[in-house]
């Protein structure tokens, strides 16, 4: 009987008993769903791959804690979510450190920094305005609320009827879209 014809419950039972082949088949069957969940929450496919690997290492180490007869997917999803949250916390700590270090470095080296080119800044601002105009109305409103009115993601979530996580992800994508737009317009101007 091939591993493909075995039900998920049978595979889980075999893996629970220590069958490495059964566990490998569980990883093969469930890894696309775990990776998709990681990509959706982490955003970065490479980071999602790393998190997925960590998830299955945890599953292997803690497999004896799984209670056969209960929902394996719910257990796996919980482990996945915990790894994603741990990654978010790690990134937040890293960002905080980087920001504190950058502020300290800037304070120590402010006299050595070159003056920004006012013409380039004005050019970038004009290009940013053009790129903002191309955004759909809903996204323009999100940008206005966040940057003109300094609204928090929780306040915006309430206004738009979304979760604050969804608002933060949307703002991240919009900022990336605007950055790409401005850079492509700058490149086109440079080519003229």
Segments of the chain scoring below 70 in pLDDT: 1-4, 96-116, 190-192
The phi, psi pair for 98, rounded to 5°, reads -60, -40
Q: Which residues contact 62 (CB under 8 A, 6 or more apart)?
A: 79
Handedness of CA 106, 115, 122, 130 (dihedral sign): negative
Token look-up 């982490």 returns 42
Q: How many CB atoms lie within 10 A of CB 103?
A: 10
Show the domains of the chain with their CATH numbers.
3-92 (1.10.1740.10), 116-191 (1.10.10.10)
Q: Which two tokens stand for residue 160?
A: 């738009």
pTM for this model (two decimals): 0.50
Q: How far is C-alpha 96 from the geometric centre of its chain's CA atoms?
A: 17
Asked if 75 and 66 count as a contact pair (C-beta separation under 8 A), the reply is yes
Task: Give pLDDT tens digits for 8-58.
Answer: 888 888 888 888 999 999 999 999 999 988 888 877 788 889 999 999 999
What is the distance between the alpha carbons of residues 116 and 4, in angstroms, rounded to a whole number? 62
């Amino acid at each position: 009987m091939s591993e493909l014809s075995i039900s998920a419950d049978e595979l889980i039972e075999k893996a629970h008993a220590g069958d490495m082949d059964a566990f490998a088949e569980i990883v093969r069957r469930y890894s696309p769903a775990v990776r998709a969940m990681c990509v959706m929450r982490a955003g970065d496919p490479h980071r999602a791959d790393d998190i997925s690997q960590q998830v299955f290492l945890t599953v292997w180490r803690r497999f004896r804690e799984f209670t056969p007869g209960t929902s394996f997917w719910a257990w796996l999803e919980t482990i996945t979510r915990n790894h994603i949250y741990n990654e978010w916390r790690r990134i937040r700590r890293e960002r905080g450190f980087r920001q504190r270090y950058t502020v300290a470095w800037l304070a120590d080296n402010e006299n050595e920094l070159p003056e920004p080119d006012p013409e380039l800044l004005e050019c970038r601002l004009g290009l940013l305005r053009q790129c903002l105009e191309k955004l759909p109305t809903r996204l323009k409103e999100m940008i206005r609320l966040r940057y003109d009115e300094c609204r928090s993601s929780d306040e915006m979530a309430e206004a738009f009827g979304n979760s604050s996580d969804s608002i933060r992800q949307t703002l991240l994508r919009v900022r990336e879209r605007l950055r790409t737009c401005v850079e492509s317009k700058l490149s086109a101007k440079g080519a003229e």
